[in-house]
Amino acid sequence: MNRKILIVMVGVICIIAFVVLIASNPLRRSEADIKRQILEITPLGTSFSQVRTTVEQHGWRGDISGGADAKIIEGVIGSCQGLPHRRNVYVMWMFRGIGRTNLTDVYVVKSGGSQ
């Protein structure tokens, strides 16, 4: 086999491997897909304390906030390189209703960049 062809083939394989590696980052999925994944980990109805424990166990940075009608755990679950800027992925776990003790909704937001 010609040396030039071998070099080109190795280069193409490296580029394909790089693209597959980047594309496989779950944080590159749509916000709806990430939300579905988060809801598999913390389903609606999960207690506030269990969500807080899960956030801590995954190493997600989480802050607790809220007002008269809701309690919220806000967390940064990770980041990925977008074009042209790095993108953080934020999740908000909402606890509404009487006692505000059970998970009622989840919101996922990606900062900046394009989808």
8 Å CB contact between 46 and 103 = yes
Rounded Cα–Cα distance for residues 56 and 70 (Å): 21
User: H or E segment at 78?
Assistant: strand 70-81
Rounded Cα–Cα distance for residues 5 and 10 (Å): 9
8 Å CB contact between 105 and 45 = no
Residue 101, in any domain of the structure: yes
Residue 71, in any domain of the structure: yes
Residue 79, in any domain of the structure: yes
pLDDT digits (tens, 9 = 90+) for 23-49: 555 667 888 999 999 999 999 999 999
When pLDDT is cut at 50, 70 and 90, the band that residue 18 belongs to is: low
| Total residues belonging to the chain | 115
pLDDT digits (tens, 9 = 90+) for 44-72: 999 999 999 999 998 887 788 877 788 89
Q: How confident is the model over 17-23, as a mean pLDDT?
A: 59
When pLDDT is cut at 50, 70 and 90, the band that residue 1 belongs to is: low
Instruction: Say if residue 92's pLDDT is above 80.
Output: yes
Residue 22, in any domain of the structure: no
Domain that holds residue 74: 28-110
Complete DSSP assignment for 12-69? HHHHHHHHHHHHT-GGGS-HHHHHHHHHHHS-TT-BHHHHHHHHHHTT-EEEEEE-SS
What is the share, in percent, of the chain residues with pLDDT greater than 90?
35
